[in-house]
Structure 1
């Protein structure tokens, strides 16, 4: 069982719990596209790890430590999706890519991405370099810049 697998389960349980009040085995299986017996086995392991509260036939809810992990994953996801959208990726793709990458980003990288996003969002309106990047992204050409080296 990898940390990626654990994180995927925690995210799905978090989402289903928020949506339905509890995460049932069949719903988790449908979300992860796996068979219910595999989900049941994993739910027992997550319960042993104190990440969920699980009662067979009644579903699963996140424990306090599971909720903390889920919140940290949501922050990672939002940070990555925000970054991707800043550089011009559409929201749907940014969300999908963030789902894949969030399990592999170090806390050091995440901290720097957060700093960068804060810098961009809190900086002057329409920073020139961001406008230049947008132009480059759309045309493949660089705008003339007095600082550009030849």
Structure 2
């Protein structure tokens, strides 16, 4: 079983680094209207050579395209992936901070670590769980209060 899980993990659509490259292209285009290799390198605080290598790989996989002026833009596939990553980060951050009671900064860091790893199904189920957890349902209210109480007891030990 473990080998199959590891194989599925290795077949993940994007690495953490590649996800951040795509998000940098998106952020720069929204902020400045364009994204070049040098801009991405500065944004991510890495070398232009690293960005060039990553962009070549992302172009080959259909996430990014480059025009005749060397401006980069996300393809529809790239835009879809960035949107999924961003929504996963928001959901994970809310889960970690509001449901599990983590510090906001720590929740943001951990959400960033897993934002590109969750499947659409896992993200959807987590959203459903959060909707229930923060609803007015008596069971949810009782569960959340009991869970937070257990966390406090654990922290006092």
How far did residue 73 of structure 1 move? 1.0
Partner of 1:92: 105
- Give the alignment's TM-score, normalised by structure 2: 0.75
Alignment partners' CA distance in 2, 1:8 and 1:51:
12
Equivalent in 10, 15, 30 of residue 42 of structure 2: 30
How far did residue 36 of structure 1 move? 0.4
Q: Is the 8 A contact 2:134 2:141 kept in 1?
A: no
Equivalent in 52, 62, 67 of residue 40 of structure 1: 52
In the comparison of the two structures, how many residue pairs are matched? 140
Partner of 1:62: 74
- Give the alignment's TM-score, normalised by structure 1: 0.77
User: For 1:122-133, what aligned pairs fall within 5 Å after superposition?
Assistant: 122-124=135-137, 127-133=141-147
1:134 aligns with 2:145: no
How far did residue 117 of structure 1 move? 0.9
Q: Is the 8 A contact 1:25 1:40 kept in 2?
A: yes
How far did residue 89 of structure 1 move? 1.3
1:114 aligns with 2:127: yes
Alignment partners' CA distance in 1, 2:72 and 2:22:
10
Q: Is the 8 A contact 2:135 2:141 kept in 1?
A: no
1:12 aligns with 2:28: no
SS at match of 1:22: coil
Partner of 2:8: none
SS at match of 1:53: strand
Q: Is the 8 A contact 2:28 2:35 kept in 1?
A: yes
Alignment partners' CA distance in 1, 2:135 and 2:103:
21
SS at match of 1:140: helix
Alignment partners' CA distance in 1, 2:31 and 2:59:
21
Structure 1's 6 and 56: CA in aligned 2 closer, same or farther, altered over 3 A?
Answer: farther
Larger radius of gyration: 1
Partner of 2:86: 74
